Amino acid sequence: MSETAAMQAAESEDPTEDQFISYRVTWKEPGADTSRTTRCLIDAAHLSRPGDVEQRNELLRKMIAIRHLPRGLAEADRIVLLDVLPICNCMTYPNGPCQFAEYGGTRFRLLPSTPANFEALHDRHDDQIMGRVHNTLSVEFLTMVREKYSHQ
């Protein structure tokens, strides 16, 4: 690629374009018996460490506190996260068809592989193998890949 073409490609990308990551979050207040579930969007630009779960959870707690707690009590410390699940980001928010809906919204799947006792992680998007792993580690590997890549 020529230097001019590379500069034009870099200029055509809009760095201010936001990428939102959607989560289904189950939470409760400390000491409460009941939990609530809500949908939260995080602007990826607010994540200085994209793979850091603690930073993501802190942003989610702040957002939930602001949206669901009374004014004056809206503090992130008053939110206990019980479950955080990424929601398919191949959909247009809030309602759009998921290209993986027929598979329960999951892009990645495990299939038996050779050699024996190994499983292969397949990407339904292009039907390529993401990796092979021993079956004792396959669920953790699948969970890690789904959390990192979701439907991007």
What are 94-128's pLDDT values in tens digits? 556 677 777 777 788 888 888 888 898 888 877 78
Residue 19 main-chain phi, psi, to 5 deg: -115, 120
CATH number of this structure's domain 17-87: 3.10.20
Is 148's pLDDT higher than 60? yes
Write out pLDDT tens, residues 76-92: 888 999 988 877 656 54
Q: Where are the domains of the chain?
A: 17-87, 95-152
Q: In terms of Cα–Cα distance, which of 75, 53, 51, 49 is closest to 64?
A: 75
Residue 23: Cβ within 10 Å count: 22
Write out pLDDT tens, residues 1-15: 444 444 444 444 444
Q: In terms of Cα–Cα distance, which of 64, 73, 83, 88 is closest to 146?
A: 88
Residue 121: Cβ within 10 Å count: 21
pLDDT value of position 89: 56
Is 139's pLDDT higher than 90? no
